[in-house]
Structure 1
Amino acid sequence: MGPRERILDAATELFYREGYDATGINRVLEKAGAHKQSLYQHFQSKESLGLAYIRERSQEVSDLIALVTRKDDPLEMVDAWVRVLKREARKERFLGCPVVNMAAQTLQSPDMREELGAILQGWIDAIEEYFRRISGNPLLANQKPGDLARRLIVIYEGNTQMFLVTRDRKWLDGIARDFRACLKGSASIDS
């Protein structure tokens, strides 16, 4: 593995586990076993390393969305998504949504905000396409695919942030519960 990959791997772990703001470049380089010259040869700044990190982490979520949206039943889809999140949480590999976690730490960066917004929109678009594909499912009667996709992402983000704060996996179960309530046309805020 070359220096770029080692640096990105180290940043991916540290930024996600310890936070972007809390992780200095020297810590990344130490973990990667790399020198500053290698860092700046591949990344112009900490922010450009952060952008590379978020693209990599967000691709993992995109891959998960692609996997679970193979199911034709939207309830099975969201249940599969929650199972993966809970499995990762048990292994202490899920610490909330990497996009929202990064957004909270980079509010002053227009480039980061633009990238994070594009990533979230990509997830919404993928889920909207899924809902369009299965639009004949009776559970989706009277639902607009775009609206439903946005609501699912909001449900995911809200519950994963509550999980991040409390580390209580009931919030991950809340994703499926709240999505079911959404399909029924009601709002559930039970904890």
Structure 2
Amino acid sequence: MIKTTKGEQSKIRLIECAAELFLQKGYNATGINDILAGTGLPKGSFYFHFASKKDLAINVSAYYENKIGTWIFNTSKGKIWTDFITEIVQKMIEEAENEKHYGCPFAVLGLEIAFSDPDISEYYYKSMKKLIHIFASVLKFSDIPEDKIDILSNRAFAIYEGYLLYYRIGKDVEVLKMMLRDLIDIYENFKEVKA
């Protein structure tokens, strides 16, 4: 196990707290004092690690990209589309039933800051593109023809994000179940047409 210094631990705590608060309350509704209260760290600790809240938001993007991207990538290994997407969405349903799912942070935070802070939103956009790439890799492994992978992976991602935003607004777990059905259906329907 890699040892971290006290300073590194403080930085990690600030990022993790901000990530949770940004996703729950929103970027604009979360102040630096909220983050400090959540961590119990002094104000000087924040400014030692981050030049601004904007700088912290970029670090939060990297945190989510690592956390979610790694989880989705690891889940994708050696799986065909239906198995992959079922495992991903079932985990979301489980978290939603325990009131611990708030939607996709890339879309939620990216939407909020897209026009007010476009230089931050580009980090969230880049993370979304990486998820589309993982979707494409799984579809390729699932024997989707090369010329159809880009179309299908982008369509699947649009369905995925649309339902996650729909869920975030209504907090209805049934929405996630509909998402799973539709994400399986676009793959199954394509396989039927191909056959």
TM-score tier, shorter chain, comes to 0.7 to 0.9
Partners of 2:80 and 2:138 within 8 A in 1: no
- The reply to whether residue 14 of structure 1 matches residue 21 of structure 2 is yes
Corresponding residue to 2:119 among 78, 91, 111: 111
Amino acid at match of 1:159: Y
Distance 1:142 1:42 in 2: 45
Quote how far apart the aligned CAs of 1:181 are: 2.9
Determine whether 1:156 maps to 2:160.
Answer: yes
Residue aligning to 1:73: 80
Structure-2-length-normalised TM-score: 0.85
Residues 28-39 of structure 1 mapped to structure 2, 5 A cutoff: 28-39=35-46
Tell me how far apart the structure 2 counterparts of residues 143 and 75 of structure 1 sit (CA, whole Å). Answer: 20
* Equivalent-residue separation in structure 2 for 1:124 and 1:9 (angstroms): 24
How far 1:143 sits from its partner (Å)? 6.9
Question: Does the 8 A contact of 2:93 with 2:173 survive in 1?
Answer: yes
Q: 2:129 aligns with which of 121, 135, 139?
A: 121
Structure 1 contact 65–127 (Cα < 8 Å) conserved: no
Q: CA deviation at 1:103?
A: 1.4
Structure 2 distance, partners of 1:20, 1:52, is: 13
Q: What is the letter of the counterpart of residue 148 of structure 1?
A: L
Unmatched runs of 5 consecutive residues or more in structure 1? 186-191
Structure 1 residue 68 displacement after superposition: 2.7
Give how far 1:130 is off: 2.1
Query: What is the aligned-residue RMSD (CA, Å)?
Result: 1.8
Match of 1:86 in 2: 93
Task: State the TM-score, normalized to the length of structure 1.
Answer: 0.86
For each residue in 1:14-45, what CA deviation from the matched residue of structure 2 results, as whole angstroms up to 9, or x when unmatched?
Answer: 11222111111011112111122211111111
Distance 2:75 2:130 in 1: 16
Q: What stretches of structure 1 move > 3 A for 4+ residues in a row?
A: 140-143
User: What SS does the corresponding residue of 2:102 show, helix, strand or coil?
Assistant: coil
CA displacement at 1:109 relative to structure 2: 1.2
| 2:148 corresponding residue in structure 1 | 144
Can you give the 5+ residue segments of structure 2 that lack an aligned partner in the other structure?
1-5, 191-195
| 1:11 counterpart letter in structure 2 | A
Q: Residue 144 of structure 1: SS of its match in structure 2?
A: helix
Separation in structure 2 between the aligned mates of residue 10 and residue 179 of structure 1, nearest angstrom:
32
Q: Which amino acid aligns with 1:133?
A: F
Question: Once the two structures are aligned, what percentage of the paired residues are identical?
Answer: 25
3-state SS in 1 of match to 2:156:
helix
